Amino acid sequence: MFKFVKPEAVGYNSTSLKELRNKLDSHNLRIHTLMIAKGDNIFFNINNGLYNERSIHRMYSETKSFVGLAIGLLYDDKKIKLADKLSKYFPEYIDKNTDKVLLNQTIEDTLKMGTCVNCEYWFTSLIKDRVELYFKQKHNRKCMEYFKYDSAGSMVLSALVEKVTKKDLFTFLYERVLKHLKYFDDAYMLKTPTGRTWGDSGMMCSTIATLSLGRFLLNKGRVGNKQLLSKEYITKATKKYLPTPNEIARCKRYGYGYQIWMTKGGYAFLGMGNQVTIMYPKFDIVVSMTGNAFDKVPYARDYIFDEVYKVISKKEKITNKMVKYNNTIDIFKNKSIDKSLLKKYANKTYKSRDGFIKSFKLTKQEISFVVNKKTYAIKLKDKQTTKTTIKDIYSKERVVKLPKADTYNLYVGIEESSSNRLLLQGQVMGDYFSVIKLEIIFKENSASLNLKTYAENFLKKYNGAFNFKLKR
């Protein structure tokens, strides 16, 4: 079990941690939580006030690392061999048309993301079963020829675990490992519409839970006197196999193991939006973070990796002069609305014949939109974040309807404002995350509105530029 301690208790100055907190806060990186622990001692813990270390959060592709560990359990149990062909476990999807190279792709190839196919995007495919969809693909490279991020391959590995164990992925992992870590009792995994575990993206757990899993890996699979996962497999999983030189983010260019990224000084679980768990064996440190930086990757991730590494690797004299700092960081760096903008354009209605937004109106207190004959209002408060809801009005048009996805909590603030321009920034938070940017440019008798969403295949048709005329 973790305990919270002052930085000085584990060899760091609180002044350095205060500087780290202030740097991260000032850059508007959309961090939700960030924790650093040395051994079982948590010495840095910040959050945005909406989430804390115990809040359930979507971990996105960190889920893949959970899948890799589940494969390790089957390997330890001798229920699979890493050299087994993936197709061996799914004969129901194999026929004369199955690609011959894909037929020979192994479990280990898939763990290393040295796979042979680029799978069709499952959200828009007419084939709803993602395993069936995978085995319908044709190869475009040889296995282990080079690294190619293969999210669908991780999903197939998850299905393999469920088929061999006859349990859903989370139940299997919980019974064998996660319950012993003490922080996964309220965790769960999302399911796809066909009922399979969303094995490449669906982990829902807390920051302290992923912190504990990172500690489990640094402890080489031991919890107390119990060896829950073999040291042999963890050594294999955290070793570089394929180089990753073409990744945009610098922190991802250190290679790839078994569903685990290599990074400077260690290895990591990485999920989009800045869901991160980093293990640094040399320093006996685990870093765990959640966020919503969909519009700031890779800059945000690289900046956080760099600044955290500077602190944990720094050799400094401990002063024992403990400095207090605010553990809460801002959701947004919000500004005030320009008074000249309000004076000239407030309390006027702008109408459009095109697009889903039929009209909008700006007042001193809010901006309201008419969509499908309903009015949606966003409160505007100087230098503050306000909460509203947003509905995915196009969800019925998707080939794959996401589970639990129709209405979302939306937190909005003013990012920029001038005499004729208003830029709002929003974060969708829940089982799904998104960043929304809404820019309005006002003219004498008209206005243009530009909407941009950053998300995983939802709210897409909100994107676009829309023109409005002043209602007389």
Q: What tens digit of pLDDT does each residue of 240-281 get?
A: 999 999 999 999 999 999 999 999 999 999 999 999 999 999
Is the bond preceding residue 298 a cis peptide, omega within 30 degrees? yes
Q: What is the pTM of this model?
A: 0.94
More confident residue, 392 or 340: 340
Please state, as a whole number, how many other Cβ atoms lie within 10 Å of the Cβ of residue 347: 9
Helix (H) or strand (E) holding 165: helix 151-165
The two tokens of residue 92 are 């129901």
Among 31, 161, 109, 84, smallest CA distance to 435 is for 31
Give 211-247 pLDDT, tens digit per residue: 999 999 999 999 999 999 999 999 999 999 999 999 9
The residues that bridge with 188 in the sheet, in sequence order, are 204
Task: Please tell me which residue, 205 or 192, carries the higher pLDDT value.
Answer: 205
* Four-residue CA torsion sign, 141, 142, 144, 150: positive
Position 113 pLDDT exceeds 70: yes
Q: How far is residue 350 from each of residues 40, 376, 388, measured CA to CA in Å?
A: 57, 15, 22
- Domain 3-313 coded CATH 3.40.710.10: yes
37-91 per-position pLDDT tens digit: 999 999 999 999 999 999 999 999 999 999 999 999 999 999 999 999 999 999 9
> For residue range 169-181, what is the model confidence (pLDDT) as tens digits?
999 999 999 999 9
Sheet with 41-47, side-by-side order of all strands: 3-4, 41-47, 31-38, 285-291, 275-280, 266-271, 261-263
Q: In this structure, are strands 275-280 and 266-271 parallel, antiparallel, or unpaired?
A: antiparallel
Q: Where are the CATH 2.40.128 domain residues in the chain? A: 339-470
**Binning pLDDT at 50, 70 and 90, where does residue 447 land?**
very high
Mean pLDDT value across residues 370-388: 87
Report helix, strand and coil shares of the chain as percent, to nearest 5.
Answer: 30, 30, 45
- Return the CATH fold of 339-470: Lipocalin (2.40.128)
Q: Average pLDDT, stretch 440-462?
A: 88
CATH 3.40.710.10 in the chain, residue ranges = 3-313
Residues 6+ apart with CB under 8 A from 317: none
pLDDT of residue 332: 84
User: What per-residue confidence (pLDDT) applies to 399?
Assistant: 40
Burial (0-12, 13-18, 19+ Cβ within 10 Å), 206: buried
pLDDT of residue 394 exceeding 50, the answer is no
d(CA 136, CA 122): 12
* Average pLDDT rounded to a whole number, residues 350-361: 89
Average per-residue pLDDT in the chain?
Answer: 93
- In 339-463 the beta strands, taken as DSSP E runs, fall at 348-351, 357-362, 366-371, 374-379, 386-391, 407-417, 421-429, 434-442, 446-455
User: Does 32 have pLDDT greater than 80?
Assistant: yes
What is the helix (H) or strand (E) element at residue 157, kind and residue range?
A: helix 151-165
Closest CA to 172 of 194, 151, 157, 150: 157
Is the pLDDT score of 458 beyond 90?
no
